[in-house]
């Protein structure tokens, strides 16, 4: 069994590492201190994404993407995940649901998004609908050959810089008809209610949107009426795999920084790493990271080998749960090793410690992942997780 990374995968990994070191790391402190990056800087970074060939990595070459397989996407997200402030988000992954668009939608939305000329945000969560999507109240009512959308969406990541939204609604208010609509942000009736501040610093915002009598044509339906939940689940699988890889990258960077600090910092005439308390923390971090990396790479490879959709969904939940909680533990130890310096915002470890906390919440909380995993065990037995 050859477990070495193929040359093409290594090439993508090195490309992403170079991009992170050249474009992301140098802008971390500026973002942290100012809360935002200037539009001119973001435009430079957008162009750099294309210049490095990292645009549309999760879509086929035929739609202007890079055609990366899952393992290639994983190693890219791992390297980009080392950046603080979620600067990895400048490398947009156009939502997987767009693959199911009509020819016109692919030309209008998917291809320009892969070329970084357009950008989407996904609007699912509402004030009363988080983990339970059946509580969604945003609705699209048919009026002749058009639909009228009314409702409110929260936590719409990158909604401040996106020019269109993928909105999950219930057609005619029927929870049995969850449907995705493509809505240009410039459409009358679409407005940002507010942009809350969160624990982490994030290169883009998470605004709240109001939809008030927003008229869209039938052609705005993505997929088909009633297919919204399935398309959203596919997006969740993709997002959970990316989050797991991002968490891995964040943990690795924190581990490397803490290890270097433990080797150079001296107290009581000895290096920090010479104290068993610190040595054991480093050892635990190494085990956590190696375990996670092995699991993440394995599942990515399984998907590339044709893993069926339901197993991919189940294993994506395992990865998201395990990697996000692993990153929290590793970052906590790294902060402790740095002591007071680990609590200073100029230290990447401090920033990463705040960044990874949300990974146990968004795109399905840790508790929801456990529900999914438990349900798979109940319906399909333990072999879904224990078989090789």
Residues catalogued as catalytic:
363
Q: Look at residues 204, 124, 214, 113 and name the one whose alpha carbon lies nearest to residue 160.
A: 204
Taking residue 223's Cβ as centre, other Cβ atoms within 10 Å add up to 18
Residue 361 exposure: Cα atoms within 13 Å on the Cβ side: 11
Decide if 229 contacts 242 (C-beta within 8 A): no
Distance between CA 143 and CA 149 in Å, rounded?
11
Smallest Cα–Cα separation from 321: which of 356, 272, 370? 370
* C-alpha of 61 from chain center: 22
Cα–Cα distance for residue pair 102/221, rounded to 1 Å: 9
Q: Could you tell me if 320 and 362 are in contact, meaning their C-beta atoms sit under 8 angstroms apart?
A: no
CA distance 133 to 169: 10
Q: What is the Cα–Cα distance from 205 to 309, expressed in whole angstroms?
A: 32
Cα 322 from Cα 347, distance rounded (Å): 25
Residues 6+ positions from 283 with CB-CB distance below 8 Å: none
Question: Are 176 and 134 a contacting pair, CB within 8 Å?
Answer: no
Neighbour tally for 256: CB within 10 Å: 14
- The set of residues, in sequence order, having a beta carbon less than 8 Å from that of 76 and lying 6+ positions away, is 12, 13, 15, 16, 54, 57, 68, 91, 245
């Amino acid at each position: 069994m050859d477990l070495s990374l193929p040359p093409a995968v290594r090439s993508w990994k090195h490309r992403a590492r170079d991009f992170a070191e050249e474009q992301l790391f140098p802008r971390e402190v500026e973002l942290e201190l100012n809360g935002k990056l200037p539009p001119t800087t973001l435009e430079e970074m957008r162009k750099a994404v294309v210049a490095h060939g990292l645009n549309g990595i999760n879509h086929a070459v035929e739609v202007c993407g890079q055609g990366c397989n899952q393992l290639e996407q994983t190693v890219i997200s791992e390297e980009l995940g080392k950046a603080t402030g979620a600067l990895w988000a400048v490398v947009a992954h156009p939502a997987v649901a767009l693959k199911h668009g009509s020819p016109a939608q692919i030309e209008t939305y998917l291809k320009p998004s892969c070329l970084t000329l357009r950008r989407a945000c996904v609007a699912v969560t509402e004030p009363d609908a988080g983990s339970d999507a059946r509580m969604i109240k945003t609705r699209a009512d048919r009026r002749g050959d058009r639909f009228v959308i009314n409702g409110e969406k929260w936590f719409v990541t990158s909604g401040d810089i996106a020019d269109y939204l993928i909105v999950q609604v219930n057609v005619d208010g029927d929870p049995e008809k969850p449907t995705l609509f493509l809505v240009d942000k410039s459409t009358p009736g679409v407005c940002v209610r507010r942009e809350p501040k969160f624990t982490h610093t994030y290169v883009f915002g998470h605004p709240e949107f109001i939809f008030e009598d927003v008229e869209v044509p039938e052609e705005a339906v993505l997929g088909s009426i009633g297919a919204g939940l399935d398309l959203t689940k596919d997006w969740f699988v993709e997002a959970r795999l990316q989050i797991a890889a991002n968490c891995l990258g964040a943990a690795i960077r924190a581990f490397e920084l803490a290890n270097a600090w433990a080797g150079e910092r001296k107290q009581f005439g000895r290096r920090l790493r010479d104290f068993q308390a610190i040595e054991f923390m480093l050892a635990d971090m190494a085990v956590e990271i190696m375990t996670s990396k092995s699991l993440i790479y394995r599942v990515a490879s399984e998907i590339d080998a044709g893993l069926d959709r339901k197993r991919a969904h189940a294993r994506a939940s395992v990865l998201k749960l395990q990697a996000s909680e692993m990153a929290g533990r590793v970052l906590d130890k790294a902060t402790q090793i740095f002591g007071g310096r680990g609590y200073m915002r100029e230290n990447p470890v401090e920033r990463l410690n705040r960044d990874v906390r949300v990974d146990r919440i968004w795109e399905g909380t840790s508790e929801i992942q456990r529900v999914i995993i438990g349900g798979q065990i109940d319906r399909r037995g333990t072999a879904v997780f224990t078989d090789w």
